[in-house]
Chain A
Amino acid sequence: MKKGIFSGEKWKYLFYTVSHPNDGFYWIRHQDRGSVSIAVLLVILYGVCFSMNRIYASFVVNDIEPRTVNSIAELAGVAILFLVLCVGNWSVTCLMDGEGRFKDIVIAIGYSMLPVIVATTAATLISQVVAENEEAFYTILIGIGTAYTVIMMLIGIMQIHNYTLGKTLITLFLTVIAVLIIIFLALLVINFITQVYSFLRSIYIELIFRI
């Protein structure tokens, strides 16, 4: 049997999850119907779509300076945010009786990206034919896509951990705090590493000059 992104079954199930989020995410948790590789692929796709939108959306709707768009950095940013979000959610739900495994969290967040990917791409295409006063089509499309993604993410987290809606919201709030803490610690560690590095480097330079 083919696995991951090569399995037609899994792709079909992705679209089933988008149209039936409650059921879909439930069976992802209990019958392993989801695929981590598809989820990761979707996240990468979102990063690409995001940059493409910033570069290629037409002049009428696009107020972004092309010189500031760095698609590699944006891709990395999306990936890091995704990773931190997953880790944050996993660490919080572990302590709050969440039933989901890390794998399920990755799939839930990754699969939820599909609507926003489709909407962003469609909006980028539509922007090529809209003029002023017609930007509403563009913004509404992106708005709907984003809203659908947020709702799917909410349902996904709720289903895989077997939470009530209230508890999901609380864990999401705590997840945000966890993400901030992770970012803070990461910056701290990077800062320390740089200092240690520069210390070692200065010792090295000192030795080079003396010997």
Chain B
Amino acid sequence: MKTIICCLLLLCLLPAGALANDSLPYDCYNYDYWNNILYTPAPYVPDGSLGGAGLMWEGSPLGAFRSPQDLCVSPDGKIYLADTGNNRIIVIDGGLKNVLQVIDHFEADGAAQTFSSPTGVAVSQNRQLYVADSQNHRIVVLELDGTFVKYVQNPQSEVLDEGYIFTPLKVSVDYADRVYCVAQNMFQGIMVFTAEGDFTGFFGTISVKISLWEKFWRKFSTKEERSKQQLFIPTEFTGIDVDDEGFVYASNKDTDGMQAVRRLNPKGQDVIRKGLKENLGGDLVFGTVGNYSGPSQIVDVVYRDHGIYSLLDARRGRVFTYDHEGNLLYIFGGIGTQEGTFRTPAAIEQLGSRLLVLDAQQGNVNIFSETEYGRLINQAVSLRYNGDEALAVPLWSEVLRLDENNELANAGIGKAYLSAGDNEKAMTYLRRGMNRAYYSVAFKRWRNEALRGNISWFLTTLIVLIVLIVVIRRVILPRRAARRKERGHAA
């Protein structure tokens, strides 16, 4: 008895595993088919943070980051961080321990140049560093060692207003060294520059939506009233990322909470896939009053791999991850001051299996590492993206073991059963996964099989019924009538 109690006490003392959500400073959840919140195991857990104060550079402390606005992971796994308030770019190694380089000036046209509020940073596939030097109104292109290459500045075009001042905020580069730039007060879209630095036009313009009701009121308002009304201007982009195929993922402000990210093809058209709910705007359910109310405010997007991308919400500090079909995979993160929560999240990046979230106000980088749950989902979705759905089944069953409500896992297993020909099991799982289209396919097959197997029974019953009806009509009813008649005569 004593030993049992001792064992139990010891069990209580054991540290909780990485999946125990009670030790996390934030909630991890997802939405089910009916938009109910379902709490899930943690897909990512805090794994330390990185502040400027703890780093050393050339023998002396680096000093705290001041309002850093952007970070970027280069193809060889180094982290480039735009320390905006200190006007410098800091390069950190992939182990997140050592500062490799601090770029605070460069040599251009024979004179030393510095940055002024660098708000965006990007590394191209051709190993060049692009810095959105916002208050100097230029994008600076450097070699990775800090040697000056060129400026991208002074866009010249008829479509730009007279006296337009170019203030780049975020920058990204594709495989052909085309530069995509989100500029301040630029509502026409993302600005695109050629590799030579010439402005070619706008990209991914978001059209303004005016409701019928607003049109109706504008008809009745006078010119004076109209001038005082809010202008109908397109929403701004907030962050950009370019995937391996050269498609641009761009997050934007969205007051409806419907679509906060776009996937732009080379012509600038939005080709993103929306899921069943037609929503790519972060939270589906939110309050209407108080500090954390309103739709999610997406400030950055990171394209990960195999069609998976994550959005960063500044309103409630959450990270939303979607797959290429627009399904919400998992949600984590929150506002706060504990490790793993943010005050003003500004940028998100992926480093291997880890996610880095830059907090501008706290001046640090929060590191999140993948849990078993997150890894299983990421791998299963990647396999589906590559068309290997059958290989994903063991992973999805593992996901179900951790989170039996996971609709994607249920649907994934159901689809596998469907292609294996086990229609009944497919129906059970597809129904749990709320996948009507595939359920229906399984159901049709099951129905046909049932019909084929039992056709003799059906036909036999039918024939017996017909015979019965004929007998009743032709034999029994006339006899009865005759008997009644006889009785009538007798009376």
Contacts and interface: CB of A to CB of B under 8 A. Distances in A.
A59 B431 contact: yes
Interface stretch (B50-58, B352-360, B378-386, B437-445): B437-445
A140 interface: no
Contacts of A1: none
Given A59-B439, A60-B439, A65-B34, A131 B444 contact: yes
B447 A132 contact: no
B479 interface: no
A60 B443 contact: yes
Contacts of A59: 431, 436, 439
A60 B447 contact: no
A60 B436 CA distance: 6
A192 to B, nearest CB: 28
A129 interface: yes
Interface residues of B, number: 10
A61 to B, nearest CB: 9
A41 to B, nearest CB: 30
B440 A132 contact: yes
Interface in B444-488: 444, 447
A129 B437 contact: no
Interface string B164-182: 0000000000000000000
Given A60-B443, A65-B34, A132 B431 contact: no
A81 to B, nearest CB: 26
B428 to A, nearest CB: 11
Interface string A99-141: 0000000000000000000000000000001011100000000
Interface in B159-205: none
A129 B34 contact: no
A131 B34 contact: no
Contacts of A132: 436-437, 440-441, 444
A60 B34 contact: no
Contacts of B447: 129, 131
Interface in A47-103: 59-60, 65
The bracket for how many chain A residues form the interface is under 10
A129 to B, nearest CB: 7
Interface majority SS on A: helix, strand, loop or mixed? loop
B200 to A, nearest CB: 46
Nearest to B434: A59
B433 to A, nearest CB: 11
Q: Which of A65, A129, A132, A133 is most buried by chain B, counting CB atoms within 10 A of its CB?
A: A132
A142 B444 CA distance: 22
A64 to B, nearest CB: 9
A131 B431 CA distance: 13
Contacts of B443: 60, 131
B365 to A, nearest CB: 41
A129 B458 CA distance: 15
A47 to B, nearest CB: 24
A133 B34 CA distance: 23
Contacts of B437: 132
A131 B445 CA distance: 10
A60 B439 CA distance: 8
A164 B431 CA distance: 52
Interface string A12-25: 00000000000000
A60 B438 CA distance: 10
A60 B434 CA distance: 10
Contacts of B431: 59
A40 B375 CA distance: 59
Interface string B296-338: 0000000000000000000000000000000000000000000
A65 B431 CA distance: 13
Interface in A1-37: none
Contacts of A60: 436, 439-440, 443
B441 to A, nearest CB: 8
Contact of B440 (A65, A129, A131): A131
A132 B444 CA distance: 8
Contacts of A129: 447
Contacts of B441: 131-132
A59 B447 CA distance: 14
B277 to A, nearest CB: 13
B293 to A, nearest CB: 25
A59 B427 CA distance: 10
A131 B451 CA distance: 14
B69 to A, nearest CB: 43
Interface in B386-435: 431
A132 B437 CA distance: 7
Contacts of B436: 59-60, 132
A132 B441 CA distance: 8
Nearest to B445: A131
A60 B437 CA distance: 8
A132 B447 CA distance: 13
A133 B447 CA distance: 15
A146 to B, nearest CB: 24
Nearest to A68: B34
A133 B437 CA distance: 10
A25 B440 CA distance: 44
Contacts of A133: 440
Contacts of B34: 65
Given A60-B440, A131-B447, A132-B437, 5 more contacts: A59-B431, A59-B439, A60-B439, A132-B436, A133-B440
12 contacts: A59-B431, A59-B436, A65-B34, A129-B447, A131-B441, A131-B443, A131-B447, A132-B437, A132-B440, A132-B441, A132-B444, A133-B440
Interface of B: 34, 431, 436-437, 439-441, 443-444, 447
The 4 closest A-B pairs by CB, nearest first: A132-B440, A131-B444, A131-B440, A65-B34
